[in-house]
Structure 1
Amino acid sequence: MTQRPVRAWHARSTPHRPLVQSARLLAAALFCLAITPCISCTGAFRNPFRPGSPPVPEVLLPGASLADVIAAINANADRLQTLQTTNASITVPGIPGVPLLRGNIAAMRPGRMRIEASAALLGKQVDMGANDDAFWFWTKQNNPPGVYFVRRDQLAQGAAAGLMPIDPQWLLDALGFARLDPAGFHEGPTVTSNGSLEIRSIVQTPRGPVAKLTVVDAKRGVILEQHAYDGQGALIASARTLEHRYDPSVQVAIPQRLELRLVAADLALTIDLGTPALNAALPNPAVWTMPVMPGVPLVDLANAPEGLYPSMGQTFNQTGMYDIPAATVPSASLDSPYGSAVNAMPQGSPPTGTSNAPGWNGAFAPAPQSSGVPPSAVPSYPPGAPVPNGFGASNGYGAPNAYAPGSEPSPYA
């Protein structure tokens, strides 16, 4: 099994203090809905199946195929239509028991979400959401002040590219809405040393292709971790499920507590969803409406010049009132699942004549030529479409182990 190098994850120095007051509040809000489970920074992995709660059914047999695993993931996600909670809390690792923010979270398939969060004695600090047309965020400390927004088809334009490093859809994935497109580009499942399953995918986003690593429980078929990488193989975002919550009435498992990282912001957070209601009617349809606040301008980031507005990481990390000591920012035990930027993902010409071919940007490098995935586990590609160089059956590429030596977490520890 291929071993992965471990790269230390260093905290960055805090940029301009005037800008700081919006990013930590914001990235926490962003990541409340961000991505579902991450790799343990220390190698210790807590049992994600809460003792005493309704058990998550076992739906996968040993040796499950890629199609079986994708079907299990999607069946759980498809049964989840809405989620809402009024008592979510966000804390910072290393400061146990001290809530960073408390607030409301609502999400609805396929791509709507809203978070409104407050800090003790300081009132409302964050309003962030997405509807069918746009994604927006506001923090009390936004500098320049404003409700920043961008239309979904303009996420890669203007200041939006730097301010919003994550596709809003990834935020819903954290809550249990994550699906894998059966017709997409996947490789695996690979069995890790602790018995979990890994699937590697190329996902097309408004910003271009993104590499995604999904770690799945081998019996229950629920997602334990999700990691997103850019075309250079650099980690963009990562999350780990500390506890799952299973609701027998709707037969859905979702993360109850999440440990999340937004790498661009050097930010680590733990989210507890409190007592979420699943598939209940939302009390007010206006929850999906972008807020209009007296005296607060609407700022269209797609038409705003780059550099004028702070990034999401700056906005959150410069809040000042919640500065995270460097010692509380954990080391990353995982960088790229391909070992380095040089071994990021396939390169070469994109498959032609197919409707689901990902957009190649030329930055992907050849994948490592290792074994581990039997030919039967390699995904089938559309008839007549050449398999991309370095990815798939054409070279027997098998996904290497995603964990550094000694860091493999046990999902049942």
Structure 2
Amino acid sequence: MMSPTADNAPPKFRAAPRLLVVSLLVLLALGSSGCRWNPWIRRPAGDAAPVIFSHTPTLEEVTSALNAQTSRVQTLQTQGATVSVPGFPAISAELAVERPRKLRMRAGTAFTGPEIDLGMNDELFWFWAARNPQPGIYYARHDRFATSPLRSALAVDPAWVTDALGLVQLPPVQEITGPSPAGTDRMELRWTVQSAAGPMTRLIHVHAKHGWIVEQHLYDPRGNVMVSSKASDHQYSSVDGVALPRLVELNVPSASLQLRMDVTSYAVNMPFADGQTLFELPSQSLGNAPLVDLADPATAAALGGTMGAPGASGPMSPQPAIPAATPLNGATRYRGMPQYR
């Protein structure tokens, strides 16, 4: 039997795929979540960011600084956040995350009410959208989704959840190449990531003085961009000892998706008003929306043909292939770097 495509898919799935892609990639790339908490505790803003690197750092110094900042953040919450995609107005969003894998995002407007509910915990992830023509809470267990056709089509690991905000836990230094120059006040690190689609290359750009991540890319085995993110307008908190971006831009060429998140302020390591119930599948709180398992072969077949054309590019104009690395001062050696043509 022919697999369903955009033209011959069952009617209940025909209008949903684009919303599925957008919602899934918001979840996978932003890796944040939201709730209503009260009272709101705001951290001091506008602190002068310290100079982390006053000299050309070694690989050990860069990885130590990045991992140290990530380790200082166990929970993260935002207020005054908005999420937008080209062609659609921005909507308000409340985000919260508990490292390493719990997150929730709720978004909506004052006029229409809740619009999006995304979440993830150690066992599974889910999303719900009010304007989905076929109401449903789409979800999947991590272990089952890892081997599903949709997972292969997206080729994005949920481990990206908080990385777009700069909270990256780096692998051992033996697996990393760099640092190498990457433009004004930038240096580059890269390493290989194993995935169901084969070995991928992860590349990040780090501010050469302040030590925060300003750009990230994930390349497939052929050197094509899978996911890119840019972070800017960093806010440093001397109380928390971390710098977090107030603007995050995401580009997912395989889904022709560009997304922007603006954040007014953060609260770090504060308790959640809803406790751990915040990170539970909200099957009882979204009306009569049925549960739809994305790892189910029937669902994957109905949606898999409309995931977008690989290789499409967006306004961020990501590089079409993995750029060559330039050793810092000619001294850095690149260990085991695969060649892409």
SS at match of 1:291: coil
Distance 1:125 1:207 in 2: 33
What is the aligned partner in structure 2 of residue 209 from structure 1? Answer: 199
Distance 2:220 2:127 in 1: 23
Within 5 Å, give how 1:330-349 maps onto structure 2: 330=315, 332-338=317-323
Distance 1:193 1:85 in 2: 31
SS at match of 2:193: strand
Q: Structure 1 142/157 Cα, relative in aligned 2: closer, same or farther at 3 Å?
A: farther
Shift of 1:331: 5.3
One of 103, 128, 133 as aligned partner of 1:138:
128
Shift of 1:183: 4.6
Q: Is the 8 A contact 1:159 1:309 kept in 2?
A: no
Residue ranges of structure 2 left out of the alignment (5+ in a row): 1-5, 8-13, 33-44
Q: Is the 8 A contact 1:21 1:142 kept in 2?
A: no
What is the aligned partner in structure 1 of residue 67 from structure 2? Answer: 74
SS at match of 2:80: strand
Q: Does 1:127 align with 2:117?
A: yes
Residue ranges of structure 1 left out of the alignment (5+ in a row): 1-14, 36-51, 315-325, 339-367, 380-386, 392-396, 400-413
What is the aligned partner in structure 2 of residue 238 from structure 1? Answer: 228
Distance 2:79 2:184 in 1: 36
Shift of 1:86: 3.8
Deviations 1:33-81 (A, max 9, x none): 159xxxxxxxxxxxxxxxx921221111322111111111111111111
Deviations 1:329-368 (A, max 9, x none): 5151422224xxxxxxxxxxxxxxxxxxxxxxxxxxxxx7
Q: Does 1:171 align with 2:147?
A: no
Q: Which has the higher strand share?
A: 2
One of 26, 30, 33 as aligned partner of 1:33:
30
Shift of 1:304: 2.7
Q: Is the 8 A contact 2:17 2:306 kept in 1?
A: no
Q: Is the 8 A contact 1:31 1:262 kept in 2?
A: no
Amino acid at match of 2:315: P
SS at match of 1:228: strand
One of 251, 258, 264 as aligned partner of 2:241:
251
Distance 1:333 1:158 in 2: 27
SS at match of 1:69: helix
Within 5 Å, give how 1:147-226 maps onto structure 2: 147-161=137-151, 164-183=154-173, 185-205=175-195, 208-226=198-216
One of 315, 318, 327 as aligned partner of 1:372:
327
Q: Which has the higher contact order (CA 8 A, sep 6+)?
A: 1
Shift of 1:128: 0.9
Within 5 Å, give how 1:112-123 maps onto structure 2: 112-119=102-109, 121-123=111-113
Distance 1:24 1:130 in 2: 16
Amino acid at match of 1:19: A
Q: Is the 8 A contact 1:137 1:148 kept in 2?
A: yes
SS at match of 1:309: helix
Distance 1:31 1:297 in 2: 22
Q: Does 1:307 align with 2:297?
A: no
Amino acid at match of 1:194: T
Q: Structure 1 242/228 Cα, relative in aligned 2: closer, same or farther at 3 Å?
A: same
Identity of aligned residues (%): 30
Instruction: Normalising by structure 2, report the TM-score.
Output: 0.79
Distance 2:146 2:24 in 1: 19
Q: Structure 1 279/184 Cα, relative in aligned 2: closer, same or farther at 3 Å?
A: farther
